[in-house]
Amino acid sequence: MKIAIIPARGGSKRIKNKNIKDFCGKPIISYAIDSAINSNIFDRVIVSTNSKEIMDIAIECGAEVPNLRSESLSDDFATTLDVMSYEVKKLDLDDDTIVCCIYPTTPLLKPEFLRLGLEKIPKNAYCFSACAFNSNPLRGFFIKDNKLILLDRKFEFSRTQDIEAMYYDAGQFYFGYAVNFANKQSIFSEDSTLVVLPEISVVDINTNDDWEIAEIKYKILCKQ
């Protein structure tokens, strides 16, 4: 069995009602639900939420909401793994059930990215979405007490093309087995695998500026 779980709490602070805010004509969570359903790889698509409003919208979009999540798992301190562990245990899934955590604000996520993730799940770890840094952070620096501190001086004069590419978590999805999520096994291990996404398909939506960038990217992708 393969299950998608979309964690979508109510009460977002920086962007009001972020998980159900209108994005190019539809609640933003509907895009994650549609991608999961249209990938044709999941037996169930479940939304985990503490909000009745989000629950109603999720069900209308074709997802299941078996129960409302407790408030203790819906505050600012609850991690993704806390929520996923809770849901996996609540669903009483077999250890070898394939589970995919999909974030609710992923309007650029294509069904084919999920299909790729399914193909690449390792035995005892996760497969997650990643993206290459545009500017390699090895040439970056800190500012402390108004003083510049290079991250690594040996790269000070290196050309970007001469430095090995670095990647970051794209924050779109995490594939793993139920036992991994239940035990809160670290997602970022040496055994984990990646689906590297193009930069145009990635945006981490935390501010209104991020939201506007996501809408611009979405409109560009729709024209391709």
Q: What is the tens place of the pLDDT at every residue in 78-98?
A: 999 999 999 999 999 999 999
CB 98 within 8 A of CB 177: yes
Nearest Cα to 34, choosing from 93, 92, 107, 120? 107
Domain of residue 43, CATH code: 3.90.550.10
Q: Which domain holds residue 14?
A: 2-223
Amino acid 166: pLDDT = 83
| pLDDT attached to residue 32 | 99
Q: Are 212 and 107 in contact (CB under 8 A)?
A: no
Q: State the pLDDT confidence band at 144, using cuts at 50, 70 and 90.
A: confident
Scored b (16 or more CB within 10 A) or e, 102-139 reads bbbbbbbbbeebbebbbeebeeebbbbbbbeeeebebb
pLDDT of residue 157: 60
| pLDDT for res 183 | 97
Q: What is the pLDDT of residue 177?
A: 98
Q: Give the helix ranges, DSSP H, for the chain.
A: 29-38, 52-60, 80-90, 111-119, 178-182, 208-223
pLDDT of residue 133: 86
Q: Which of these ranges, 6-10, 13-17, 78-82, 218-222, has the smallest mean pLDDT?
A: 13-17
pLDDT tens per residue, range 197-210: 999 999 999 999 99
SS3 of 202, please?
A: coil
Q: Report CA dihedral (119, 120, 125, 127) to the nearest 10 degrees.
A: -100
Q: What would the pLDDT profile of 20-38 be if each residue is shown by its tens digit?
A: 999 999 999 999 999 999 9
The count of structural domains within the chain is 1
Does the pLDDT of residue 45 top 80, yes or no?
A: yes
Beta bridge partners of 68: 49
Per-residue pLDDT for 151 more than 80? no
Tell me the C-alpha distance between 221 and 119, whole Å. 24
Residue 156 — pLDDT band, cuts 50, 70, 90?
A: low
The larger pLDDT score, comparing residue 145 to residue 44, is at 44
Question: What is the C-alpha separation between 68 and 101, in angstroms, rounded?
Answer: 17
Query: 97 in helix, strand or coil?
Result: coil
**Beta pairing, strands 127-132 & 167-177:** antiparallel
The model's pTM: 0.92
Q: Residue 83: its pLDDT value, please?
A: 97
